[in-house]
């Protein structure tokens, strides 16, 4: 097992997920272990970098990144971020997904984010009538966009005005690290990580969702039979709030354990504004389930860690897990029925095969 908490998928752009060994049992993911999802080279911005707030506002205003914390009240939100492609590997057994990062269960993490509320900034500049969305642009240029462009996204105005959406300048008590968007990133709790734009340079109040490539074309769930090369703006389901999800972190996939009592550990995340109400574990293919113990407190913005003691017989076993939310919705059974051409939102049951040796 590597000591490096990150499993690097790509160096350029730098993309790395947290190893399960570094996620397991930790409510908060340390900065050096937090997954990194980039779409281009990381821009190095100083605290003098400007953030322009424009569009449907009363007063177009530029702030220096470093002055935000002085101008507005400071708030902290503990929030899970989760990549829309988290657990994509579960799709790859069904059908290949060329050109997309093969994220396992570690494209997610939870941090204490500190910064200023987006709504306080919007109040300072005055939102004009007709505004319905708020767009964000980062300084990172991506040639994954067609044509190449800065990374961008948008969220509905109602979400932008919520208590929990921050322009964050600190992560777990430290200045925001370069790879997490220094000096200022957006944090949109409950939504896919792609909406939490890093290296923020612009906030645009709009009367429609952003037409940035990563909002209008990418990060959309297409029907299985679609060729993604044919997908244009507005096709598919625009990903926003995260779908109910969970995974098993320990034992790790494909490892060997001793027969007898085994403690299964993992995370569950309800997404959107929902909470996790139950997690089930099965060692008989879903014929019967035991209820995991949920650790910590229910909170819509953070994952729920869980633990479940099972007794394993020698042989080969696949451990299953599934979460339920506060509507009593449970995760779908099979990745096969959720497979989609860009490999987003695999929230099928967690399935971790293990070899069980005689005790």
Q: Tokens 């821009």 correspond to what residue? A: 43
Of 64 and 330, the one with the shorter C-beta distance to a second copy is 330
Token readout for 268 is 């569950």
Cα–Cα distance, 25 to 23 (Å, whole number):
6
DSSP state of 330: B
| Greatest extent of the chain over all pairs of C-alpha atoms, in Å | 71
Of 88 and 274, the one with the shorter C-beta distance to a second copy is 274
* Kind plus residue range of the DSSP H or E element containing 249: strand 245-250
Of 68 and 77, the one with the shorter C-beta distance to a second copy is 77
Of 63 and 214, the one with the shorter C-beta distance to a second copy is 214
* CB-based contact 200:116 (threshold 8 Å): no
Residues forming contacts to a second copy in the complex (CB under 8 A) are 221, 223-225, 237-244, 271-274, 277-278, 280, 286, 288-289, 291, 324-334, 337-338, 344-345, 347
Of 14 and 289, the one with the shorter C-beta distance to a second copy is 289
| Number of C-beta neighbours around residue 206 at 10 A | 18
Token readout for 240 is 């926003």
CB 285 → a second copy: shortest distance, Å? Answer: 10
251: three-class secondary structure by DSSP: coil
CB 334 → a second copy: shortest distance, Å? Answer: 7
CB 53 → a second copy: shortest distance, Å? Answer: 27
CB 146 → a second copy: shortest distance, Å? Answer: 22
CB 293 → a second copy: shortest distance, Å? Answer: 14
Is the N-terminal amide bond of 183 cis, ω within 30° of 0? yes
* CB-based contact 132:207 (threshold 8 Å): yes
Which residues does residue 7 pair with via DSSP β-bridges, in sequence order?
A: 17
Token readout for 319 is 């451990």
* Kind plus residue range of the DSSP H or E element containing 238: strand 237-238
Of 45 and 188, the one with the shorter C-beta distance to a second copy is 188
CB 46 → a second copy: shortest distance, Å? Answer: 37
* Kind plus residue range of the DSSP H or E element containing 353: strand 350-357
CB 114 → a second copy: shortest distance, Å? Answer: 25
Of 223 and 296, the one with the shorter C-beta distance to a second copy is 223
């Amino acid at each position: 097992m590597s000591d490096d908490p990150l499993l690097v998928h790509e160096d350029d752009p730098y993309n790395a997920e947290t190893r399960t060994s570094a996620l397991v049992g930790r409510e908060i993911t340390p900065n050096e272990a937090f997954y990194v999802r980039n779409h281009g080279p990381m821009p190095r911005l100083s605290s003098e970098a400007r953030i322009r707030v424009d569009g449907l506002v009363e007063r177009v205003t530029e702030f220096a990144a470093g002055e935000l914390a002085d101008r507005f009240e400071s708030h902290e939100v503990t929030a899970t971020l989760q990549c829309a492609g988290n657990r994509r590997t579960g799709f790859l057994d069904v059908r290949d997904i060329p050109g997309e990062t093969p994220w396992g269960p570690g494209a997610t993490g939870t941090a204490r984010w500190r910064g200023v509320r987006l709504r306080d900034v919007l109040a300072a500049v005055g939102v004009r009538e007709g505004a319905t969305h708020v767009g964000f642009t980062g300084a990172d240029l991506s040639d994954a966009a067609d044509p190449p462009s800065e990374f961008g996204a948008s969220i509905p105005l109602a979400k932008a005005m919520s208590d929990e959406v921050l322009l964050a300048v600190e992560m777990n008590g430290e200045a925001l690290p370069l790879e997490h968007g220094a000096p200022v990133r957006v944090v949109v709790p409950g939504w896919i990580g792609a909406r939490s734009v890093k290296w923020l340079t612009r906030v645009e109040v709009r009367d429609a969702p952003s037409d940035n490539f990563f909002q209008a074309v990418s990060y959309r769930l297409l029907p299985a039979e679609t060729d993604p090369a044919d997908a244009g703006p507005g096709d598919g389901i625009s990903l926003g709030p995260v779908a109910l999800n969970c995974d098993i972190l320990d034992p790790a996939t494909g490892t060997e354990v001793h027969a007898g009592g085994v403690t299964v550990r993992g995370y569950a995340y309800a997404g959107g504004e929902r909470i996790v109400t139950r997690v089930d574990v099965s060692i008989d293919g879903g014929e019967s389930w035991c209820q995991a113990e949920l650790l910590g407190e229910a909170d819509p913005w953070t994952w729920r860690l869980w633990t479940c003691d099972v007794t394993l017989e020698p042989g080969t076993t696949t451990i299953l897990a599934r979460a339920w939310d506060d509507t009593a919705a449970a995760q779908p059974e099979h990745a096969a029925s959720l497979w989609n051409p860009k490999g987003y939102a695999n929230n099928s049951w967690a399935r971790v095969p293990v070899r069980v040796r005689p005790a």
